[in-house]
Structure 1
Amino acid sequence: MESTLKEMRDGESVLDLNPKCTVGGGVEDVYGEDRATEDQLVTPWSVSVASGYNMLRDPRHNKGLAFTEKERDAHYLRGLLPPAIVSQELQEKKLMESIRQYDVPLHKYMAMMELEERNERLFYKLLIDNVEELLPVVYTPTVGEACQKYGSIFKRPQGVYISLKEKGRILEVLKNWPERSIQVIVVTDGERILGLGDLGCQGMGIPVGKLSLYTALGGVRPSACLPITIDVGTNNEQLLKDEFYIGLRQKRATGKEYDNFLHEFMTAVKQNYGEKVLVQFEDFANHHAFELLARYGTSHLVFNDDIQGTASVVLAGLVASLKLLGGTLADHTFLFLGAGEAGTGIAELIALEMSKQKKISVGEARKKIWLVDSKGLIVVSRKESLQQFKKPWAHEHEPVNNLLDAVKSECTAEEAYTWTEGRALFSSGSPFEPVEYKGKLFIPGQANNAYIFPGLGFGLVMSGAIRVHDEMLLAASEGLASQVTKEHFAKGMIYPPLSNIRKISANVAARVAATAYELGVATRLPRPADLVKFAESCMYTPNYRTYR
């Protein structure tokens, strides 16, 4: 097969195929086409090409009407596009106007996914420039509905699906993915997708969404990201009966079968991509999430956003709040409604920060933190029946059956500002609209994990870290808190605006990388003199490249 290697300005190389070349068992006709007779089998094959019609079908290189006259001639595009030449900025304006026409969020989600499939750089350009508007579209809350309906809206596979059918062959399956230089993997088994429960194979929307944020907000190259779904079955009866369900139609594997399958996966990942690939566990059930983090934390570069990312972003809000309130974390007592991955993860990181600030043991710091689960306050008298990850939070106290008996807390942002006469610093997981109180505008904070995980992951990648340590999570929190200015505090904000997220992520990445170097787990040497500038210079940018 004749081919010419064409170098592109952004460092990517693609093949320019001789259009008369044929492959397979067919018979070549006068037009150079490969035709198979009825008794012949033709092996399907595909390559990446740098010219012609196929270039327009390659989302990584397609620019649509932005191809210049020179590029249209050089890459055999003449006549394959309308004559108009449109800038990337005008394309962005047109698409944003189109997306805003949709009333249904899921339709906006589908429009964005279709854009990613045909023009990768334009997709990320839109997402970066309109992050506050599009973040709820490509991720929570809309991605939850997309996962529920994934079988119905499924069009083009994204990422790698590894089911029990591939037991003993996971390394072989990973090698089917075309990219070799993978830096970040987000993997789910679909058992606890957001607050929606077991969605099985349809949970793939979560890794896909998370990795789009790794690129848009954190600057990791799209080609270095790999979404993976581990399909071990589902206990969702509705999905098992759904004719459009795309996963295995069987109950979930458990016990040794599950553990061995996950171990094969983690071993294959390290063997195929090396020790520096970050594996982010996403939306696993509580019992698996904690076990996987504990089991592989000492042998792999692993991170759980539900446990560690949520904890880090909440701690950042608390650290920022102390700049206004004064004092230290240890001056306060904390009560949590919920003792799952998020609750215990946040509690543990707060205890670690208290321990660091006050020079006390983590065990002593935990005594300032109380958790309430579905059975009430977690106390010593319940210790024998508690799951392992809850036991450190069992303190001496008489049993309390519910949260209301412990303290009354739930409220809206408006109620918080009104009841405290404007003194409250308010933040929640869900977004609230700005509130005007006595002529002053207050902007409620959203404790969104997107503030932390893209920068954290990028910091690990750019330093070549081989392990994740708690000190890195504290550094990420402090890096985020440092981005909150006096102007933000004046509006009642304890998080900086998401519109500055690329700058925020660069600072978070720099703090994380600095900690990696200090702990001796960074492998990219020598250490850059200015880690913030280095982070900014390494970030992927979605502007169109000029093709020679």
Structure 2
Amino acid sequence: MIDVTEVIDDRTGETVMEIPLRGRLLLDCSLLNKGTAFSEQERRDFGLVGLLPSYVSTLEGQATRRYEEYLKKTTALERFLFLRALQDRNETLFYRLLHDHLTEMLPIIYTPEVGEVCQRYSHIYHRSRGLFISYPQRHELDAILENRPYRQVDVIVVTDGERILGLGDQGVGGIGISVGKLALYTVCGGVDPGRTLPIVLDVGTNNPERLADPHYLGWRHERVRRPDYDAFVEEFVQAVERHLPGVLLQWEDFGKDNARRLRDRYRDRLCSFNDDIQGTGAVTLAALLTGGKATGRPLGSQRVVILGPGSAGTGISDLLVAALVREGLSEDEARSRLWLVGRHGLLHTGMRDLKPAQERYCRPLERLAGWERGPAGEIPLAEVVRRVQPTVLIGVTGQPGLFTEDVIRTMARQVERPILMPLSNPTAQCEASPVDLVAWTEGRALVATGSPFPAVAYQGRTIPISQCNNAYVFPGLGLGVIASGARRVTDEMFLAAARVLSDSTPKPAGLDAPLLPPLAEIRALSRQIALAVGIEAQRQGLAQQTSLQQWEQLLDARQWAPRYRAMCPQPRPADRL
């Protein structure tokens, strides 16, 4: 475990990092390595003379050279591997490159390319990053957490790999999601990369391809289920409480049977949240608030149909209800604006085996008399759209093609400016192509997707396709929680983030208004979200009270930026006497 300290140089007043490494060990430490940018004095101080070419580079020059190499890669996977190798070698340079080319590289380091990375993880593995906690090692949790590379940790992203994007169970390959999310915490939010920790809980896999793969790196066993699974997670949580009390923990890509259950079980015990539930809800709410401004239809007058009542669908629903209640509606009135449709059709009170999160959105069966039924007695999406005449259609199914031409054309006949949000990712799992959605609505739809899509050309117009990327929300929210010292993460914080995100979107002008701001602005936007989250944490009594000026100063002091820091050797114990 590397322990880096900061001191003030008596001569210059500059903050200097005391480094315990030298020579090859320093060059091999990605967080501290500067490569050819080590100064001549640092080369002498750390025993690097002769280990590097004589020319002293700048960070800007290094970034320019690396970008030239990046452009020579011809596939998304090659570009991902190039960036990951750079991150393993020099994290400051990696984040500077991302910072300079964020819009271009975001789809490479996260969705959609991270899906392929998780699928092929065992075949492209080169170097360890994060912690791998396997079920057979459950009695060694203290030793494993002690093996973390850096002592101070502000945020953990943990997954068990069961529901990676729309690709399902990827087992140990799910660590790619944890690593990718934390990269966004840093490049978008300014969270110090040396204080982040990706973790995968390897409880086996039910993916037959992974189990049959001779190169699979995870525990070759079917997934552990309750009660053994719950006991393992509890042991993990207790170990985190012992070693990293107060850390922010993000539950990521857990399966439908565990995602909400774990979030609810630990949300009042840990400073934790589930991005698939709450982050997705916040960015979707922000897009709907913006869409309401563009169409002149406020949130309370929208009729929202959500296809896919899993953790993401119910998470979106919960935050929409919370927002509507904030606007003055009762909870029953708020829920009445939402219709959830699953594999067996519209959720209603005659259904069995629904989860509690789904039951609260069931429609009374007696009010559905006369509605057209499908072959198995279900009320299909097409009938829901015909009867409800929704103004908003959201898809979070992980199944491509479910927004059919018939459904969309029906909706377009009923509503002048429908808001269509096929949010499943990666790209291949999207419920419909934006090109089709624009054509089927004769260019009148407002469209946002989960994966990145280019703008659509239609009859001389260029129609923007906003990406409902959770990166708009969780990096800034995380920074706000960390910097304020908030003890818990609440739905009110996500509501605050959604309002900031919507208010930051360019004012609607004509038909072609984006639902979300440009991704290029996400760093500044994250600061505004962090500011609002910290204020909300103080309002709720979850963080120490400060003046607004003090809070802004505290926040800015915690934001990390990709620049090289001055270094000096860490004194040996005898030198301190």
Q: Paired residue for 2:313?
A: 343
Q: How many residues align?
A: 507
Stretch deviating more after TM superposition (529-538 or 502-511): 529-538
The residue correspondences of 1:180-191 to structure 2 (distance < 5 A) are 180-191=151-162
Does the 8 A contact of 1:180 with 1:273 survive in 2? no
Q: Measure, in 2, the Cα distance between the counterparts of 1:290 and 1:493.
A: 31
Residue type matched to 2:502 in 1? Answer: A
Equivalent position SS for 1:385: coil
Paired amino acid for 1:248: W
- Deviation per CA, 1:183-220, whole angstroms, max 9, x where unpaired? 11100011111111111112111101101111111111
Matched, 1:289 2:310: no
The two structures have a TM-score, normalised by structure 1, of: 0.88
Shift of 1:364: 2.4
Q: 1:128 to 1:424 in 2, by over 3 A?
A: same
Aligned to 1:540: 560
The 1-side partners of 2:527 and 2:362 are apart by 38
Contact 2:5 2:17 in 1 (8 A): no
Structure 1, residues 61-90: CA drift from partner, whole Å, max 9, x if none?
221222233333333322222222322112
Secondary structure at the counterpart of residue 259 of structure 2? helix
Residue 283 of structure 2 is matched in structure 1 by 313
Give the corresponding residue for 2:400: none
Structure-1 residue corresponding to 2:142: 171
Pick one of 132, 135, 152 that aligns with 1:161.
132
Deviation at 1:324, TM superposition (A): 2.4
Contact 1:338–1:372 (CA under 8 A) maintained in structure 2? yes
Q: CA RMSD, aligned part only?
A: 2.2
8 Å contact from structure 2 (residues 111, 451) kept in 1: no
Superposed, which structure 2 residues align to 1:265-280 within 5 Å?
A: 265-274=236-245, 276-280=246-250
Distance 1:319 1:71, change over 3 A: same
2:382 to 383, 396, 404: 404
Match of 1:250 among 221, 224, 236: 221
C-alpha contact 1:462 1:535 (8 A) present in aligned 2:
yes
Distance 1:488 1:217 in 2: 27
**Post-superposition offset of 1:527:** 4.6
2:463 aligned partner, one-letter code: F
The verdict on how the C-alpha distance between 1:415 and 1:141 changes in structure 2, with shifts beyond 3 A counting, is closer
Long gaps (5+) in structure 2: 9-13, 386-406, 409-430, 569-577
Task: Please say if 1:299 is aligned against 2:320.
Answer: no
CA spacing shift, 1:530–1:412, aligned 2, 3 Å: farther
Task: Out of 90-99 and 119-128, give the one that drifted further.
Answer: 90-99
SS across alignment from 1:168? helix
Does the 8 Å contact 1:426/1:492 carry over to 2? no
Q: Are 1:521 and 2:489 an aligned pair? A: no
How far the C-alpha of 1:136 sits from its partner, in A, is: 0.8
What do the CA deviations read for 1:2-41 (whole angstroms, capped 9, x no partner)? xx999586553322xxxxxxxxxxxxxxxxxxxxxxxxxx
> 1:417 Cα shift?
4.3
Return the offset for 1:532: 5.0
* Distance (whole Å) between structure 1 residues aligned to residue 480 and residue 223 of structure 2: 35
* Contact 2:77–2:113 (8 Å) recurs in 1: yes
Native 8 Å contact 1:517 1:527 kept in 2 = no
Aligned to 2:401: none
**Which residue identity does 2:343 align to in structure 1?**
S
Q: CA deviation digits over 1:484-514, x for unaligned, max 9? A: 1237888521211111111010011111111
After superposition, the C-alpha distances for 1:33-52 in whole angstroms (9 at most, x for unaligned) are xxxxxxxxxxxxxxxx1x33
> Partner of 1:349: helix, strand, or coil?
helix
Matched residue type, 1:129 = D
Aligned match of 2:362: 394
Counterpart of 1:33 in structure 2 is none
Q: Give the aligned partner of residue 435 of structure 1.
A: 456
Unaligned runs of 5+ in 1: 16-48
Task: Find the counterpart in structure 2 of residue 424 from structure 1.
Answer: 445
Q: State the AA in 2 paired with 1:13.
A: E
Q: State the match for 2:347 in structure 1.
A: 378
Answer whether contact 1:174 1:272 (CA < 8 A) is retained: yes
- Asked whether 1:360 is paired with 2:329, we answer yes
Match of 2:388 in 1: none
Quick one: distance in 2 between partners of 1:137 and 1:312? 23
Q: Does 1:151 align with 2:122?
A: yes
Q: What fraction of aligned residue pairs are identical, expressed as a percent?
A: 40
Preserved CA contact (<8 Å) 2:159 2:178: yes
Greater relative CO (CA pairs within 8 A, separation 6+) = 2
Q: What is the alpha-carbon distance in structure 1 between the residues aligned to residue 42 and residue 466 of structure 2?
A: 46
- Residues 453-462 or 55-64, more deviating: 55-64
Q: Distance in 2 between matches of 1:437 and 1:111?
A: 36
- The aligned amino acid for 1:191 is E
Structure 2 counterpart of 1:486, one-letter code = K
Indicate the SS of the match to 1:426.
strand
8 Å contact from structure 1 (residues 144, 194) kept in 2: yes
| Residues 466-495 of structure 1: per-residue CA shift (max 9 Å, x gap) | 111111110010111121123788852121
Instruction: Between 243-252 and 73-82, report the one with greater CA deviation.
Output: 73-82
Q: Distance in 1 between matches of 2:277 and 2:48?
A: 49
